[in-house]
């Protein structure tokens, strides 16, 4: 699988009765790869659900289960996280980003911290630009830890439902997409009549 095409997202639907009843002919290989994925969940908790589902078929894996296991491996190959952020000036969106991180993160926490560092760099640039334009804007942001410690930058919890950057980083239901789009003050385009 070293030459396989990586997947950016892992979509896994639980199948109570697989459409293919054909048994997989190499259970040792299935067990070995699934064991490696189990080990990987220590630092990649986002794999836990899929690994759990695949483990439920350790004694009766089918060709379909093998395909789902290979899909999980293709997802793991795409190791770089996607960062996304939105910067507002008042109620106006002035900057937004959606891009792959340049460095492989060892955990979701590290990936989020790297994303936070990216937005702090962007805010630093915007503050500098506003100062050059003789506009005032509170705070000067250079380093995440220093700025949080000095109370210049405040990092708040955002509920999953309200994470605006999700619109840049993952597939969403129509309802959630429209909700976040409206929060960004983006006017929906309508086809010409």
Select from 79, 98, 129 the last residue of a domain: 79
Highest mean pLDDT among 22-36, 71-85, 162-176, 178-192: 22-36
Say which residue, 34 or 168, is predicted with more confidence. Answer: 34
Does 102 have pLDDT greater than 70? no
pTM of the model: 0.40
For residue 189, tell me if it sits in a domain.
Answer: no
Question: 179 and 88 in one domain?
Answer: yes
Smallest CA-to-CA distance from 128 within 147, 141, 114, 146 is with: 141
Question: 164 and 131 in one domain?
Answer: yes
Does 16 have pLDDT greater than 80? no
Helices of type H across 11-78: 27-40, 48-55, 63-77
Predicted local confidence at residue 153, as pLDDT: 72
Question: 159 and 86 in one domain?
Answer: yes
- Summarize pLDDT for 36-75 with one digit per residue, the tens: 888 877 767 677 888 888 888 888 888 988 888 888 888 8
* Count of the separate structural domains present in the chain: 2
Contact (Cβ atoms closer than 8 angstroms) between residue 178 and residue 192 = no
Task: Please tell me the chain's helix, strand, coil percentages from 3-state DSSP, rounded to the nearest 5.
Answer: 45, 10, 45
- Could you tell me the end-to-end alpha-carbon distance of the chain, in angstroms, rounded to an integer? 49
Domain boundaries, position 13? 1-79
Select from 14, 47, 79 the last residue of a domain: 79
Question: 29 and 97 in one domain?
Answer: no
- Identify the burial level of 83 via C-beta atoms within 10 angstroms of its C-beta, where 0-12 means exposed, 13-18 middle and 19 or more buried: buried
């Amino acid at each position: 699988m070293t030459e396989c095409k990586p997947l950016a997202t892992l979509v896994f639907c639980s199948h109570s009765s697989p459409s293919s009843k054909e048994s997989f002919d190499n259970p040792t290989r299935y067990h070995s790869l699934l064991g490696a994925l189990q080990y990987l969940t220590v630092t990649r908790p986002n794999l836990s659900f899929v690994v759990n589902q695949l483990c439920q078929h350790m004694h009766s894996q089918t060709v379909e289960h093998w395909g789902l296991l290979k899909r999980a491996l293709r997802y793991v190959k795409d190791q770089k996280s996607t960062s996304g952020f939105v910067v507002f000036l008042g109620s106006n969106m002035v900057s937004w980003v959606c891009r792959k991180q340049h460095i492989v993160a060892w955990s979701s926490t590290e990936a989020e911290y790297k994303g936070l560092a990216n937005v702090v760099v962007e805010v630093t640039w915007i503050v500098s630009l506003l100062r050059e334009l003789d506009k005032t804007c509170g705070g000067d942001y250079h380093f995440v830890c220093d700025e949080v410690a000095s109370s210049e930058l405040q990092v708040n919890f955002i509920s999953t439902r309200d994470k605006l950057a999700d619109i840049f980083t993952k597939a969403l239901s129509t309802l959630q997409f429209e909700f976040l789009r409206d929060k960004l003050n983006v006017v929906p385009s309508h086809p010409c009549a």
